[in-house]
A and B are shown apart, each in its own frame.
Chain A
Amino acid sequence: MSIPVGSQDDKPAARVPTLSPGTRRMLASIGWSLVSLGLFAGMWEALWAIGAINPLLLPPPHMFFSDIARTLTFFDHKARMIGSQGGGSAIMGLLTTIGWTTFRVVAGLSIGFALGVLCGALIHYVRMFRNLVQPLILMLAPISPVAWLPVAIFVFGVGDVPAIFLVFVTVFFMIVLATVAQIASVPKNYLHVARIMGANERQTFWRVILPAILPSLFMTLRLNLFAAWMVVLIAESVGVGIGLGQITGMARATFNAKLVFFTMVIIGVLGFTFDWALRKIQQKMLWWVPPGQGAM
């Protein structure tokens, strides 16, 4: 640190060309993620090395990664059916599996978000709707998605719809409640300004209330993203066709610990990637929220 002398706006002497602060921050965060993962994996490996854990039940990372070719065959639908081997189609199988699960998560989450925000806004604006619907929502909200599973299957049969429905049910109530709470907490002065400027209800909603609650809505969406990934596996493990949950179900049935952990890694990476993508969208869309605020 140098002691500042002279005028305030003296530019600091040109530094050695270095990375921009943004890039540096990103590299640092990637670095720490790797360290964090490495520590965890290292501890696991160490426990295995000193013989503290049974590799059949808790195979350390190097084991379930080294056996990747065999593990992958489980993802290949046709191979599993017919019993043939094939590297290329195994990768394709993995991607297809990921694709289906991702589709269900995205579909359930999007529908849940759109309807949740709509429902929250209606509760705020339409007294009749509030009186009729709010108690119901408060009663349904604490019910575990697992309890909805049989309902989903009774109503929709097996297939994609019950899985999407389960994701929807998981996120919907939280999003409704969050929307209602956030609309109620919009600073009064914002609404006063809108009224003084002559904005009608519609304009006030789209141009004041919505942007005011958007940052916290996004946060709610991100938190629910994790819940969605958790619950989609439950739905898939009871048989809706191809999906990661079906793989873990099968792994459990066949005591294949390597497959379990491999799938867990995939889900972790997927969840992380999705959260990262949402965060990027958030930064673009919510340009006014300073980074570091609202857990960006």
Chain B
Amino acid sequence: MARPALSLRNVSKTWMPEGRSPVIALRDFDLDVAPGEFVVFLGPSGCGKSTLLYMIAGLEETTGGVIEQNGRVVTEPSAERGLIFQEASLFPWLTIADNVAFGLSIQGVLPQKRKEMAADILRSVGLGDMLDKKPDELSGGMRQRAACARALAMRPSVLMMDEPFAALDVQTRAKMQDFLLQIWRDSKASIILVTHSIDEAVSLADRVVVFTSRPGRVKTIVPIDLPRPRPTRDPRYHEYRDMFAELLADEVDRAFAEQETR
């Protein structure tokens, strides 16, 4: 592999919630993400997937190990590493276009220029006629696309998404997956997607990183060796699905067993 876009070495995180006992969310997590790679995080609930994304984004500090982007240690947030949440989190007081232009205006891009850039990006995500709409006038899927546009406007080299489609209905979800593949190809960014959906993982990923239950570590990394678009009728597709289902069931069982012995 050429130099990784992102490299995690022994990354650990222990939460110290006030008045409660510490929670070891992640322990010695190792991972390299290649430039332009599509990685999916799959793991039982509470195993630290969101925590890891926040640390890669620079929003939370690690309590051990190092995160590097293109060889530089991550210490603070940067628009180089975009993050998209389950809720679109668009600012309700800005129009869609102004939301997308927000980061550009922070960077000091002039109003006329950033207006054009925002319009371009919104057109490319199919929201060309929504520029002057308020966020709450858009459907959930459209809002999530606008949130992608906002992140893409900063030309990130890594785009992270924390269960971005979990709140959407099944049809919209399928559309959004196509959409995601399209922006992935166009932007050439590496993508890290957190999901609970095994289907989503098999349909989208170059590699699927399966987490152990808490404390989260890499249980196994599975490259998906299927052409795109993924042949959902292919027996191999189903083999992958069954494999992930088993891996996850293992971890969930382990988590439950642990809770009972406590």
Distance in Å: Cβ of B131 to nearest Cβ of chain A:
15
| Total residues of chain B contacting the partner, CB 8 A | 25
Residues on the B chain within 8 Å of A199, using CB = 106
With A203-B106, A288-B134 known as contacts, the answer to whether A198 contacts B78 (CB < 8 A) is yes
Q: How far apart are the CA atoms of A146 and B78 in the complex, in Å?
A: 53
Q: How far apart are the CA atoms of A187 and B89 in the complex, in Å?
A: 9
Q: Among A203, A211, A290, point to the contact of B91 (Cβ < 8 A).
A: A211
User: Do residues B136 and A196 form an inter-chain contact, with CB atoms below 8 A?
Assistant: no
Interface residues of B in 154-179 (CB under 8 A from A): 154
User: Do residues A198 and B91 form an inter-chain contact, with CB atoms below 8 A?
Assistant: no
Residues on the A chain within 8 Å of B106, using CB = 197-199, 203
User: Do residues A193 and B93 form an inter-chain contact, with CB atoms below 8 A?
Assistant: no
With A203-B106, A288-B134, A290-B136 known as contacts, the answer to whether A196 contacts B77 (CB < 8 A) is yes
Q: How far apart are the CA atoms of A195 and B91 in the complex, in Å?
A: 14
User: Do residues A189 and B91 form an inter-chain contact, with CB atoms below 8 A?
Assistant: no
Interface string of A178-204 (1 = CB under 8 A from B): 000000000101101101111100010
Which of B37-45, B79-87, B121-129 makes up part of the contact surface? B79-87
Residues on the B chain within 8 Å of A187, using CB = 89
Interface string of B86-101 (1 = CB under 8 A from A): 0101011110000000
User: Do residues A189 and B93 form an inter-chain contact, with CB atoms below 8 A?
Assistant: no
Decide if A208 is an interface residue (CB 8 Å cutoff): yes
Interface residues of B in 51-99 (CB under 8 A from A): 57-59, 76-79, 81-83, 85, 87, 89, 91-94
Give the one of B79, B81, B106 with max A CB within 10 A: B106
User: Do residues B103 and A197 form an inter-chain contact, with CB atoms below 8 A?
Assistant: yes
The chain B residue sitting closest to A187, CB to CB, is B89
Q: Among B89, B92, B93, B107, point to the contact of A198 (Cβ < 8 A).
A: B107
User: Do residues B91 and A196 form an inter-chain contact, with CB atoms below 8 A?
Assistant: no
User: Do residues A190 and B81 form an inter-chain contact, with CB atoms below 8 A?
Assistant: no
The chain B residue sitting closest to A200, CB to CB, is B106
Residues on the A chain within 8 Å of B154, using CB = 197
Decide if B29 is an interface residue (CB 8 Å cutoff): no
Q: Among B76, B77, B91, B136, point to the contact of A190 (Cβ < 8 A).
A: B91
Give chain B's interface secondary structure class.
loop
The chain A residue sitting closest to B156, CB to CB, is A196
Residues on the A chain within 8 Å of B78, using CB = 196, 198
User: Do residues A196 and B93 form an inter-chain contact, with CB atoms below 8 A?
Assistant: no
Q: How far apart are the CA atoms of A127 and B177 in the complex, in Å?
A: 45
Interface residues of A in 201-252 (CB under 8 A from B): 203, 207-208, 211-212, 214
With A203-B106, A288-B134, A290-B136 known as contacts, the answer to whether A196 contacts B89 (CB < 8 A) is no
With A189-B85, A189-B87, A290-B136 known as contacts, the answer to whether A195 contacts B77 (CB < 8 A) is yes
Q: How far apart are the CA atoms of A208 and B82 in the complex, in Å?
A: 18
Distance in Å: Cβ of B1 to nearest Cβ of chain A:
27
Residues on the B chain within 8 Å of A207, using CB = 102
Interface residues of B in 108-164 (CB under 8 A from A): 134, 136, 150, 154
Give the one of A193, A207, A211, A288 with max B CB within 10 A: A193
User: Do residues B107 and A190 form an inter-chain contact, with CB atoms below 8 A?
Assistant: no
Q: How far apart are the CA atoms of A196 and B153 in the complex, in Å?
A: 12
Distance in Å: Cβ of B20 to nearest Cβ of chain A:
19
User: Do residues A196 and B107 form an inter-chain contact, with CB atoms below 8 A?
Assistant: no
With A196-B77, A199-B106 known as contacts, the answer to whether A288 contacts B92 (CB < 8 A) is yes
User: Do residues B81 and A196 form an inter-chain contact, with CB atoms below 8 A?
Assistant: yes
- A-side residues, CB < 8 A to B, are 187, 189-190, 192-193, 195-199, 203, 207-208, 211-212, 214, 286, 288-290
11 contacts between A and B (CB under 8 A): A192-B57, A195-B76, A196-B78, A196-B79, A198-B77, A198-B103, A198-B107, A211-B91, A211-B93, A286-B93, A288-B92
- B-side residues, CB < 8 A to A, are 57-59, 76-79, 81-83, 85, 87, 89, 91-94, 102-103, 106-107, 134, 136, 150, 154
